[in-house]
Each structure stands twice: as C-alpha cells, then as structure tokens.
Amino acid sequence: MSYEQLDRWSEEAAVGLADRGVAESSVVALVLPSCPEYTVLYAACAKLGAITAGINHRLTPLERDRVVTLAQPDLILSTADLLDRRESAELIQPCGYVPTDSDVPESEETEAEVLAGLRVVGGVVAPLAEDLDRPICIVFTSGTTGTPKGAVFCGRQLQFICQVDTQHKWNSPQDLGLHSSAGTSLTHLGPMTKLLGNLHGGGTSHLMKKWTALGGLEAVEQFRMPVIAGIPTQLALMLHHDSFDQFDLSCVQAVIVGGGPATPALITEARERLGVPVAVRYSCTEAGIGVGTSFQDPPEDALQSVGRPHLGVDLTVRSETGELLAHGKIGEITLKSPAVMSGYYKDPAASSAAFWPDGALRTGDLGHLDTAGRLHLVGRSKEMYIRGGNNVYPMEVESVLSQHDGVAQLVIVPRPDPTMGEIGVAVLVPSDPLNPPTLEELRGFAAEQIAPFKLPSELVLRDSLPLTPMEKIDRNAIREEL
C-alpha cells in the first residue's frame, strides 16, 4: 500500500464511517489482525476526529470482551473469527487474511475489494479544524497486574513523539528508519503512537500476520532492513534460531530493543553475532516515550542501564511518599513529558492515582539513577518479594544469572515459604536440554555479584516460558503454576 493509497482509501473509509454515524469524539474499536486495513481505518477515524481503540486480537475472547466493555465503542470493526456479537459490530474482511486455523488458501484481491462495503469510492470528508487536545487513540495496558486500562493520547502527544523520533525529517535510503517490521500487534503503544512519525519520515512497514523468529529473519534479509527492532523475547528467539547463521544479515547496521528488560547476556550476544551497536529503550504504555541509550554511548551503558531520558523527558526516582531520591537509592521511576497520556479513558480515579501532584507519571517500575544520570531497572514494584525481611528484586538477579552459558531464558518468581516468608524460584530454559545447569552451579556463578539472600532457593526447568498477548514473559502464569 502506497502513501497515496493510504490517503485516498482512508478518506473513502472515513465517508463510510460517517454514514454509520461516526463523528468527532466517537469511539471506534478495531478488533483486527495485523493487516494494512487497520492503518487505513486508524487514519480514517483520525480524519473524522473519532477515537481509535485498538483491541489486541491475540487476547482470549473473555479478555477481548473486557476491553471492549471498557472502551464502550460506538462501532466495532472486526473479522469473522473475532467478531463480537454486539449490535454495534460490523464485519471487516482484510484482503488476503486467512485465520491461522484455516486451510483456505490466500487469494489476490483488487483495489475495489479493499474495505469493500465500507469505503465510498471517490468520497471526501471536510477537513477538521486543528485541535491538538483532541483525543486520537486509546492504547490499552497489558493487564498483567490487573484489569487493563485505556491510555488516551491526543494530537499533542503524538506530535511530540513524532518530533523526538524524526526531528521532522524525511528519510534518505541511508537512514536507519527506512524499513521496519511489525512483529507485535498494531494495537501496541509503538504502532499506535509512532505511525505519525513513520509516515512523516517516509518509512516502510512490513506486516506479519503472526510473528515468528524465522519470518523475522527472512524479512530482514529479503527487504535488506538496516535495523532489527523488537522486544527482548523476539531478539533472543531470532539469535537462537537454528537457521540464524544461514541468513545474509550484512544489511543490519543496528539493533534496538525495548518493551521489556534486556539482559546483559542478550545485548552482548547480539553485538557479537551481528557485529553492530545495540541500543535499549525503556518506557511504559502511559508515558509514550521515556529513556534509552544511543548508538554513540559507551558500550557499557546498554549493559549496565537503560540509558538517559530522551530530550524533553524529565526522569526522577521517588519514594513511596513522592520524595526525590538521591543517586543509588531504589525507588519508583517517574516520567514527565509532553508525550505522557492525557489520562485513562473514563477512569478519573485511576487517572488521578497515576500522577504525582507535579504531573510526573508513576510507572510502577523500580530503579535507581547513577551519578552519570543513567537509569538502572530493578523490576516492577509488584514483582519485588521479601525473603527473611530483605527486599529482593528479580530483575537484578536475572541480569547476572542470564550470563551463564547454560541459560537460554530465565525468570525468578517468588513462592510462599513457611520459614522465610517468600523464596525465589528460578524458572529456566536451558541452552542444552541434555545438560542443564544445577541450582548449585547457578548460585556459585552469581555468588561474587549477588548477596546470598537474593539468590534463588529452587530451580525449575522448562522447555519454554509462557508469553502474554503482548509477547512478554508471563510471570503471573509462572507464579500461579508454582
């Protein structure tokens, strides 16, 4: 789909949406797979001043129902296999889309079939008056720590994110941002808030119906992508794929990883196997953008930290009462910038609780700042556990143990213990299933860097770790299983 087609098709789709009663401030829920039509409809809603609520199609039917109920949409657009039976729901058939459990072959569609029945060919809508405070989209949190909430982003936030990402420059063929692959749902923070910047810079997005490590490697090689970008899980799966060394990845000039904690072992492996610099990013859904390392930073920055705040972002670490903490003191990470959400959709109480009085967003993540201004993560506040009266932050221990040669993936979760209150359990996917490391080996490996009370007391081996619909490791599922 070209830029001209996106503009024209979204205009025609906007007319069709208007005929269905969609207007400024209407909420349109998109329950769709990763398909070009999603972007067309997102742009169409924006042209009408309507709010796009992206519903992750990878959620279970019950989870989708909860999010749709939260969004209270005026119109739901969905595919046959995902269609909600509410009166406001309408069927959309993306071109070439076949449900993953179907044996029906793909077919070649004509332009007329793109959003057929919705688009009004040749139709145009009246341009909107500029209003940077007009809501444009609702991005839902993952809900791993409770019921999902909808973060509202307006034109003002998206414009600032665009400025940070692109400096309002069009890319040349040599620029790193020219190509990207969408390996996550289009409902995620990145696709929903960075589309403006991608279009502004002349970017090309390659969509995947279902991301796989093999598919990601094939896309990088075929389209000569200069950047591999994704969440740590995706990068690890690509690096560890049996066919990795068979691909010509000489086009890759850099790696960007975010959306979750990247261990020093993963960053080191990416640098060694690809021979390129690696940058890390940290933010949360509600913040829009946050902090990161640059390719010009010293190599140790990405190993030891998640970098410094982006231009225009105020980063602080605070106590439970909101007091600013000195360097080295662990507290809650807060972010303040023009990119931070306007609030949670129709939830004033939760919106108020998400901010300190000075407007700083409470991320719920724990960390500390060093004297160089770099942020070091230690985990979610809800992930911390107390062993024998001592606070233990799983991410701190994981970052060390993950460097053991026998570890492919590892998380540490707490389990109740009658004596210590809680103990740590290491749930591990071994590099060599026939020769996994023992608990004693792991504890000995980390003994010089981690205090004994922080080290895991039990070891559980697994072939793989469960993932959330956001493709992050599902710690809750592991904890419940234990």
3-state secondary structure the chain: CCHHHHHHHHHHHHHHHHHCCCCCCCEEEEECCCCHHHHHHHHHHHHHCCEEEECCCCCCHHHHHHHHHHHCCCEEEECCCCCCCCCCEEECCCCCCCCCCCCCCCCCCCHHHCCCCCCCCCCCCCCCCCCCCCEEEEEECCCCCCCCCEEEEEHHHHHHHHHHHHCCCCCCCCCCCCEEEECCCCCCHHHHHHHHHHHHCCCEEEECCCCCHHHHHHHHHHCCCCEEEECHHHHHHHHCCCCHHHCCCCCCCEEEECCCCCCHHHHHHHHHHHCCCEEEEECCHHHCCCEECCCCCCHHHHHHCCCEECCCCEEEEECCCCCECCCCCCEEEEEECCCCCCEECCCHHHHHHCECCCCCEEEEEEEEECCCCCEEEEEECCCCEEECCEEECHHHHHHHHCCCCCEEEEEEEEEEECCCEEEEEEEEEECCCCCCCCHHHHHHHHCCCCCHHHCCCEEEECCCCCECCCCCECHHHHHHHC
Is-contact 10 50, C-beta < 8 A? no
Other CB atoms within 10 A of residue 442 CB? 23
Task: Name the phi and psi angles at 326, rounded to 5.
Answer: -75, 165
Phi and psi based region of residue 148 (left: phi greater than 0; alpha: psi -120 to 50; beta: remaining): beta
Please state, in angstroms and rounded to a whole number, the distance separating the CA atoms of residues 396 and 305. Answer: 11
Please state, as a whole number, how many other Cβ atoms lie within 10 Å of the Cβ of residue 241.
16
C-alpha to C-alpha distance for 77 and 251, rounded to whole angstroms = 38
> 397 with 456: CB under 8 angstroms?
yes
Give Cα 235 distance to the centre of its chain: 13
What residues are paired with 91 via a beta bridge? Answer: 78
Inter-residue contact 46 to 154 (CB < 8 Å): no
How confident is the prediction along the chain (482 residues), in pLDDT tens digits per residue?
999 999 999 999 999 999 999 999 999 999 999 899 999 999 999 999 999 999 988 887 887 888 999 999 999 999 988 876 777 888 888 887 766 556 555 556 688 899 999 999 999 999 999 999 999 999 998 654 457 899 999 999 999 999 998 887 887 766 666 666 666 789 989 899 999 998 988 888 888 888 889 999 999 999 999 999 988 878 988 998 999 999 999 999 999 998 777 888 889 999 999 999 999 999 989 999 999 999 999 999 999 899 999 999 999 999 999 999 999 999 999 999 999 999 999 999 999 999 999 999 999 888 999 999 999 988 777 787 888 777 788 888 998 899 999 999 999 999 888 777 789 999 999 999 999 999 999 999 998 888 888 999 999 999 999 987 767 788 888 988 88
Q: Cα(13)–Cα(123) distance, rounded to whole angstroms?
A: 8
- pLDDT at residue 181 in the model: 63
Return the ∠ at Cα 138 (arms to 34 and 18), rounded to 5°. Answer: 80
Cross-strand bridge partners of residue 336: 314
Q: Are 54 and 192 in contact (CB under 8 A)?
A: yes
Q: Which domains does the chain have, with CATH numbers?
A: 1-170 (3.40.50.980), 383-481 (3.30.300.30)
**Distance of alpha carbon 451 from alpha carbon 438, whole angstroms:** 18
Q: Specify the pTM.
A: 0.82
* Residue 15, pLDDT score: 98
Predicted local confidence at residue 5, as pLDDT: 96
